Amino acid sequence: MFNICDDEIVANKMPLIGDTAPEFHAQTTNGPLHFPHDYAGKWVIFFSHPSDFTPVCTTEFIRFQELLSQFDELNTDLVALSVGAIPSHLAWIHAISEMDGGAKITFPVIADMDTDIARTYGMIHDSSSDTHAVRAVFIIDPMGIIRAILYYPAVLGRNFTEIMRIVVALQTADAFRVAIPADWVPGEHVLVPAPQNTNELNKFAKKREKNIDSRAWFLSYKPLASDTIYERLTQKSSGAKKNK
């Protein structure tokens, strides 16, 4: 059974970027889950599906499983939600494992028959469907804070290149204290945070750091090699696993 741990939830208030991920207990295809408590110290991609045994959802499950090892290297776990019961989820993932080009799904799939979790997270959009979740993606950091949210309609499969890019970009921003420019991919220049007060602005004007490409006082780029990024991020991942 699902049980919201918060004493009170404001009706129709969905969590936003910067909020603490709402806490809940639920049953999954991998057993009981206490979220996000069970993932303390880990990044999590929490994503929803409209229904079991649907073609777009099936392609997404396969793709998530294919990328699982890459996410694992980035200290990132996957948690899925579909509005359905555990027997239905189990039958679906078994069918995926048996089909040509399928995969053995190992990440947990939450049972949410009464849609309480989906509604708490704003995964149910009533103008689309009052019983099926849209394709939502919540990227949650090791402190349980929501860092990014994506929504896709039922007919459109997710862009997994972008989901991976977001995870790497957020971890890069945290690890190197930089900002990420438009269309960035690892290996391209990152942004130096702009001065936030007059003292920082004066320091910026007097001392230009080596390798900094300043276009304006508020827009400066610097190089950051992809090897440097992945070495730092995967070291953190390895450390988290050892300490778990």
Residue 131 has a pLDDT of 46
pTM comes to 0.87
- Average of per-residue pLDDT across 200-209: 70
Closest Cα to residue 177, out of 162, 193, 154? 193
Reported as half-sphere exposure (CB side, CA atoms, 13 A), residue 145 has a value of 5
Domain boundaries, the chain: 3-158, 169-243
| Domain at 3-158, CATH homologous superfamily | Glutaredoxin (3.40.30.10)
Q: 7 falls in which pLDDT band (50, 70, 90)?
A: very low
Return the beta strands (E) in 1-145 as ranges.
3-4, 24-28, 31-35, 43-49, 76-82, 109-111, 135-140
How many C-beta atoms lie closer than 10 Å to residue 119's C-beta? 18
Average pLDDT, the chain: 88
Q: What is 169-243's CATH number, 3.30.1020.10, 3.30.428.10, 3.40.50.300, 1.10.730.10? A: 3.30.1020.10
- Average of per-residue pLDDT across 215-232: 94
Kindly tell me if the per-residue pLDDT of 126 is higher than 80: no
Kindly tell me if the per-residue pLDDT of 17 is higher than 80: yes
Place of tokens 């949210």: 149
Kindly tell me if the per-residue pLDDT of 37 is higher than 70: yes
Rounded Cα gap, residues 178 and 171, in angstroms = 10
Closest Cα to residue 144, out of 71, 74, 48, 40? 40
Catalytic center residues:
57
For residues 16 and 155, the model is more confident at 16
Asked if 59 and 39 touch (Cβ cutoff 8 Å), the reply is no
Residue 113 has a pLDDT of 86
- Average of per-residue pLDDT across 177-195: 95
pLDDT tens, residue by residue, 86-117: 999 999 999 999 999 999 999 999 999 888 99
- Average of per-residue pLDDT across 7-24: 77
